[in-house]
Structure 1
Amino acid sequence: MNAAEYRDLQPSEVQEGRIRLIHHGAINRSRQIERMIDLMDFLDERFSLDLMLVNNDAKYFGELRERAGRNPRIRFVEPVPFQEILSVLNRYDIGVYLLPFSNFNNRHALPNKFFEFVQGRLGIAI
């Protein structure tokens, strides 16, 4: 299966005045991760975004870091092994994945991240 195993977790405590967003996954240009970076321009100061990206495209990763550098509410965090993802996700409030409808698969996708966000007990923005 390509879905996370069940974990007996509780949603993390929401901190007043702070909403912690997380996106995790491999770097892939067709996913247009920069859209999630740009999203932060439309959210108020309560929101922060952590990007946990597997760097398999150094050039694109550099472009993303440069683009995110203009917003202090965006951080890049080190990826963790798959078996640790759920406990790390559980520390956040909302899992974010904006996937453009750039092809048939993307248009009809139900991303693995959906299941990982559910198992991590996050709100979901896909």
Structure 2
Amino acid sequence: MEARAVNKYVHHSTKKIKPMLDLVRGKRVDHALNALHFLPNKAAKIVEGTIRSAVSNYINSDEGSKVNPEELMIKEAYVDKGPITRRIQPRSMGRAYLIRKRTSHVTVKVGLPETAETASTKKE
């Protein structure tokens, strides 16, 4: 079983969030949260919150109440582009520059490792 969390309309570009997701993809949740907690980037805090939300969603599900949250691992983690808001920056001589405020949608899926899933289904 998997649980997912989507953090939408984050005011941060996908280019800055993607390295944080590459860092934690495929790792256990507790290792990923520990690694992100000590990074100084704003993107690390965004990804950390999304992972915590996915773990909470897993625990609140029917099967998740029986599982220790430290056993979970990050199955998928990706970022998509959100809508871009455009702002105008006045410049000299009557010109105007266009400033693009980019947003992102961060998605994280957590679940049990493959070996643990097959072992739990065989016991039942």
Greater share of strand residues, 1 or 2?
A: 2
TM-score (norm 2): 0.26
Greater share of helix residues, 1 or 2?
A: 2
> Which structure: larger Rg?
2
TM-score (norm 1): 0.26
